[in-house]
Amino acid sequence: ADDNTLHGPVFLQEPNSLIFPLDSEEKKVKLNCEVKGNPRPTIGWKLNGSSIDVGMDFRYSLVEGNLLINNPNKSQDTGTYQCVATNPFGTIVSREAKLQFAYLENFKTRTRSTVSVRQGQGMVLLCGPPPHAGELTYAWIFNEYPTFVHQDNRRFVSQETGNLYIAKVEASDAGNYTCVVTNTVTNSRVLGPPTPLILRNDGVMGEYEPKIEVQFPETVPSAKGTTVKLECFALGNPVPTISWRRADGKQIPRKARRHRSSGLLEIPNFQQEDAGLYECVAENVRGKNVARGQLTFYAQPSWIQRLSDVHAAIEERVAWECRASGRPKPSYRWLKDGEPLLAQGRVQLEQGSLTIPNVSLADAGMYQCVAENRHGVIFASAELSVIAIGPDFSKTLLKKLTLVKVGGEVIIECKPKASPRPTYSWKKGKDILRENERITVLDDGSLRIVNVTKSDAGSYTCVATNHFGTASSTGSLVVKDPTRVMVSPFSMDVTVGESIVLPCQVSHDHSLDIVFTWSFNGHLIDFEKDGDHFERVGGQDSAGDLMIRSIQLKHAGKYVCMVQTSVDKLSAAADLIVRGPPGPPEAVTIDEVTDTTAQLSWRPGADNHSPITMYVVQARTPFSVGWQAVSTVPEIIDGRTFTATVVGLNPWVEYEFRVVAANLIGIGEPSRPSEKRRTEEALPEVTPANVSGGGGSKSELVITWETVPEELQNGGGFGYVVAFRPFGTVSWMQTVVASPDAARYVFRNESLPPFSPYEVKVGVYNNKGEGSFSPVTVVYSAEEEPTRAPTTVLARSLSASDVEVSWAPPWENQHKGRIQGYEVRCWRHDEKEENAKRIRTVGNQTSTRVSNLRGNALYHLAVRAYNTAGTGPPSAAVNVTTKKPPPSQPPGNIMWNSSDSKIILNWDQVKALDNESEVRGYKVLYRWNRQSSTSVIETNKTSVELSLPLDEDYIIEIRPVSDGGDGSSSEQIRIPKISNAYARGSGSSTSSACTLSAISTIMISLTARSSL
């Protein structure tokens, strides 16, 4: 029940059993109890079945229903507690919570007698724990703390009695033994008096069979889910071994654990299947003994079926059943409002069931089912509320207006709240309504009218009566004309991509709202989501036509127009057949392959309502770019043929195939690829291309070629056969190059003459044999590098950055080796020769220019002849110093004036710095503003006269000239076209432009540029 509904008490938290340490510093016990109910319940407590008067004992207090006991007393407060919750709807009691007290007193005796044993004898030292409550654990100290007796197969400490067992005493066992007892609840520990152990001197004990001193009971009741511990230990000489088994032959549970000497067997989470007869076997060479005990299974009660609240009308039958599991099987008893309920009068009790055949107001209250066995007790609670009222329509009035169509069926519901159930009668207008074959009153009081006519319209009143009163409610029935479909959708055949309209038009009562919906293959069409293809059209309230645009194959199926008003609904259906390109063929299979063919078969896919006219086969290899159409036999595969032979394949290539179908509408989707299959091997047919060679080192003939692509090798074991012979001879020399990736072969022979012509051809082979050779070509053997250096090397500086060098070739009769050209090496005095700049010439050229050098620097130059074999020896190095750098200052103060077709320029003289070349003159560069080609005038003066047409804009710049090269340019000067006869200007901004009057001056400020 929610918080706003009136209801009886319900426990949210019930008390738990407690073991309270007597020596606790807190000195306070709290038993929890939390209850909800409306009105809020009052809470009390019972101890051993009797109510606790909290006000009469200052040690008790209630805090929000929880019971607090201050300074708890073992003799007064030990027992079973229950929380009792009461409100006007009844009383319930909680589960039973036991309060126990844990303590551990001290040992009474202070000394113990000496124990005297012979070596080899078995021995037991008794612990005899002091008075206590709560679980104990035991250990023994040997001589002094912290040396504890270590348990093994010879020594055992029973956690049931605390006794120490030594199966066979050894000389090292002599000493003092002290029992240590610990209470696991209070965590307190006490030590017993020490027991001296001495060895007798009258000899050693002989061997004897095991004697079981520690054994578990004949019957061990074991609770479900707990950990069962069985102890077994024996004395004997030699020390006995302990083993465990089940007498019924079953295996010891795998979850069981054996500890140290195997004297303790633990079975965690004990279940029914773990119960049975267990045996402990103690054995040595003198014999064996067995201890047995029956593990019996028990379980506290646990609910299988709880109670639920019941709201019953007076005089109704009420039945409850509660069921619980447990072992032994639980018994049941019942409580009403916290007191025992007996089977008497109208109350019938049988096991876990309670029945009241004819409930009365006196039966209302809180009921509890109690299930118990000797191992526990559980409680289940529920509320019985009894309702007794006259008929009441205040919350269930008849529907004010009910609509129905002519010929239809209608039910006018009548559901007043009433207890007990009322009798019903109906009126139409003021007249009593008589039942007939069309008009009936249902068991629940509702009125049913079938085959409705116009005359059934009117007001109807339901009258409900029980012995607490009578009530009525009235509503109206309105009869409408039925809806009819005037134009139904009709089945159609369409082609992919077309658009159609499926009509759906009706006649209906225009006072009623009408709703059109469409379904496709049983699913409503979502016009927002599927608006790309579906649209409602029509524009009238009696038309709900469906437009389908850009029809696809997926749009084939059943379309249903559904029409609904508040009084009826009807539908009309049509089937749409969509013709489209074929679906993908299926199961493409390679039936057989040769070296150049593959036999294929397949199954046809869907024709999509247009017969398949042809098939096309496509293939793919690791070497192809995507899928490619292939040649077949038959060349054209008609729609009734499902096999074909692919021809023109490359041998020894892995192929996969797919098939595409076509019909009059279009080409369909391709099939899934077939499996991959490799064609058979064949002799290689393609020879290497671009066979050539030459170069290499002395005594070498280098032959090169382009490798044959893998897809053209026609088989495994592919390689090359290289054949060559001196030009003009008959016999061929041959060698095999086994690598299919090889593209070069070098033949070495010291007697090979340099730069001699050889005829060369390269053939191919594979596992099937040898193919043909490439066409014969001529390749020259490697030549010797030149043996003599060029002579008469001269160098002169051209500028600060350029040097010209010239030389004479070696005398022809003084050297060996063909000369292809010359290599000039140039390095600065402060650099190493290996870092030299290198410039090569080709052919007979005997001079060249070396550029991009540093100004005013000393350079060394040497020349060598070269050919394909390498470079020859260097000439003697010559030295040259580059000229000083050109002036860095650009021309300044540039003035110009124009007259007729002339422009006169004037500028200041440029003076070179000490480390720069002297100025020898100037270059004036000019061009039309719209042209890219530049004209140059050189002068040794600081002025120049240019004869230029005046109808164009000009761009002019001036730079100094020196032995070191051209210096820095002035900034570009833009001279605008001039329409008058005379103009003057100064400066050099290319952005200035103006129109001049008859005598005008242009002043342009000049900003010097450091470079052009």
Q: Which of 206, 225, 256 is the last residue of a domain?
A: 206
> Could you tell me if residue 96 is inside a domain?
yes
Q: Provide the pLDDT confidence category of residue 1008 given band limits of 50, 70 and 90.
A: very low
Distance, CA of 717 to CA of 684 (rounded, Å) = 11
Position with higher pLDDT, 576 vs 987:
576
Q: Report the pLDDT value the prediction gives residue 461, as an integer from 0 to 100.
A: 97
Q: For residues 174 and 131, state if they share a domain.
A: yes
Least confident of 378-392, 527-541, 550-564: 527-541
Q: For residues 516 and 560, state if they share a domain.
A: yes
> Could you tell me if residue 888 is inside a domain?
no
Q: Provide the pLDDT confidence category of residue 3 given band limits of 50, 70 and 90.
A: low
Tokens coding 175: 């000493």
> Could you tell me if residue 327 is inside a domain?
yes
**Is beta strand 164-166 parallel, antiparallel or unpaired with respect to 233-237?**
unpaired
Q: Provide the pLDDT confidence category of residue 988 given band limits of 50, 70 and 90.
A: very low
Nearest to 139 by CA among 121, 127, 154: 127
Q: Report the pLDDT value the prediction gives residue 965, as an integer from 0 to 100.
A: 86
Q: For residues 501 and 558, state if they share a domain.
A: yes
Q: For residues 490 and 559, state if they share a domain.
A: yes
Q: Provide the pLDDT confidence category of residue 992 given band limits of 50, 70 and 90.
A: very low
Q: Report the pLDDT value the prediction gives residue 456, as an integer from 0 to 100.
A: 94
Distance, CA of 33 to CA of 12 (rounded, Å) = 8
Nearest to 569 by CA among 685, 484, 657, 643: 484
Kindly report the CATH number assigned to the domain that includes residue 62: 2.60.40.10
The answer, yes or no, to whether the previous bond of 330 is cis (omega within 30 of 0) is no
Q: Which of 544, 579, 614 is the last residue of a domain?
A: 579
What average pLDDT does range 579-602 have in this prediction? 97
Q: Report the pLDDT value the prediction gives residue 991, as an integer from 0 to 100.
A: 33
- Given its phi and psi angles, is residue 85 left (phi above 0), alpha (psi -120 to 50 degrees) or beta? beta
Q: Report the pLDDT value the prediction gives residue 344, as an integer from 0 to 100.
A: 84
Long-range Cβ contact pairs of 129-133 (< 8 A, separation 24 or more): 129/162, 129/179, 129/181, 130/104, 130/105, 130/106, 130/181, 130/190, 131/103, 131/105, 132/102, 132/103, 132/104, 132/105, 132/181, 132/183, 133/100, 133/101, 133/102, 133/103
pLDDT in tens, 221-247: 999 999 999 999 999 999 999 999 999
Q: Report the pLDDT value the prediction gives residue 465, as an integer from 0 to 100.
A: 95
Q: For residues 527 and 541, state if they share a domain.
A: yes
User: Does the pLDDT value for residue 946 go beyond 90?
Assistant: no
Q: Provide the pLDDT confidence category of residue 982 given band limits of 50, 70 and 90.
A: low
Q: For residues 435 and 425, state if they share a domain.
A: yes
User: Does the pLDDT value for residue 994 go beyond 70?
Assistant: no
Residue appearing with tokens 């390679």 = 590
Q: Report the pLDDT value the prediction gives residue 259, as an integer from 0 to 100.
A: 82
> Could you tell me if residue 717 is inside a domain?
yes
User: Does the pLDDT value for residue 131 go beyond 80?
Assistant: yes
User: Does the pLDDT value for residue 530 go beyond 90?
Assistant: no
Domain total in the chain: 10
Q: Provide the pLDDT confidence category of residue 1009 given band limits of 50, 70 and 90.
A: very low
> Could you tell me if residue 889 is inside a domain?
no
Percentage, residues of the chain above pLDDT 70: 95
> Could you tell me if residue 1006 is inside a domain?
no
Backbone angles phi, psi at 73, to 5 degrees: -120, 130
Distance, CA of 473 to CA of 459 (rounded, Å) = 10
Position with higher pLDDT, 744 vs 467:
744
Q: Provide the pLDDT confidence category of residue 993 given band limits of 50, 70 and 90.
A: very low
> Could you tell me if residue 854 is inside a domain?
yes
Position with higher pLDDT, 597 vs 1004:
597
Q: What are 815's strand-pairing partners? A: none
Backbone angles phi, psi at 77, to 5 degrees: -105, -5
33: which DSSP letter?
Answer: -
Residue appearing with tokens 């103006």 = 994
Distance, CA of 806 to CA of 803 (rounded, Å) = 10
Other C-beta atoms closer than 10 Å to the C-beta of 165 total 23
**Helices marked H in 419-517 — which ranges?**
none
What average pLDDT does range 838-850 have in this prediction? 94
pLDDT in tens, 39-84: 999 999 999 999 999 888 889 999 999 999 999 999 999 999 999 9
Q: For residues 14 and 42, state if they share a domain.
A: yes
- Inter-residue contact 776 to 759 (CB < 8 Å): yes
End-to-end Cα distance, the chain: 98
Distance, CA of 572 to CA of 415 (rounded, Å) = 37
Q: Report the pLDDT value the prediction gives residue 950, as an integer from 0 to 100.
A: 63
> Could you tell me if residue 94 is inside a domain?
yes
Q: For residues 195 and 139, state if they share a domain.
A: yes
Nearest to 280 by CA among 238, 239, 234: 234
**Is beta strand 982-986 parallel, antiparallel or unpaired with respect to 1001-1003?**
parallel
Which domain does 702 fall in, by range?
Answer: 689-780
Distance, CA of 702 to CA of 387 (rounded, Å) = 115
Distance, CA of 809 to CA of 793 (rounded, Å) = 10
Q: For residues 357 and 413, state if they share a domain.
A: no
Tokens coding 488: 């139904």
CA distances from 384 to 351, 563, 624, 668 (A): 19, 49, 84, 73
Q: Which of 43, 75, 102 is the last residue of a domain?
A: 102
Q: Provide the pLDDT confidence category of residue 980 given band limits of 50, 70 and 90.
A: low
Within 13 A of 829's CA, how many CA atoms are on the CB side?
10
Mean pLDDT of the chain: 91
Nearest to 1 by CA among 382, 419, 392, 416: 382
Tokens coding 735: 């060698």
Tokens coding 698: 């002395």
**Is beta strand 858-867 parallel, antiparallel or unpaired with respect to 821-828?**
antiparallel
Position with higher pLDDT, 55 vs 687:
687
> Whole-model pTM?
0.48
Tokens coding 881: 């110093």
**Is beta strand 323-327 parallel, antiparallel or unpaired with respect to 287-305?**
antiparallel
User: Does the pLDDT value for residue 1003 go beyond 50?
Assistant: no
Question: Greatest CA span in the chain, whole angstroms?
Answer: 157
Tokens coding 692: 């050539």
Q: For residues 846 and 906, state if they share a domain.
A: no
Q: For residues 97 and 160, state if they share a domain.
A: no
Q: Is 844 helix (H, G, I), strand (E, B) or coil?
A: coil
Q: What are 966's strand-pairing partners? A: 961
Length of the chain: 1012
Question: Mean pLDDT: which of 765-769, 796-800, 870-874 is highest?
Answer: 765-769
pLDDT in tens, 775-819: 999 999 998 888 899 999 999 999 989 999 999 998 765 557 788
User: Does the pLDDT value for residue 186 go beyond 80?
Assistant: yes
Q: For residues 703 and 769, state if they share a domain.
A: yes
User: Does the pLDDT value for residue 88 go beyond 80?
Assistant: yes
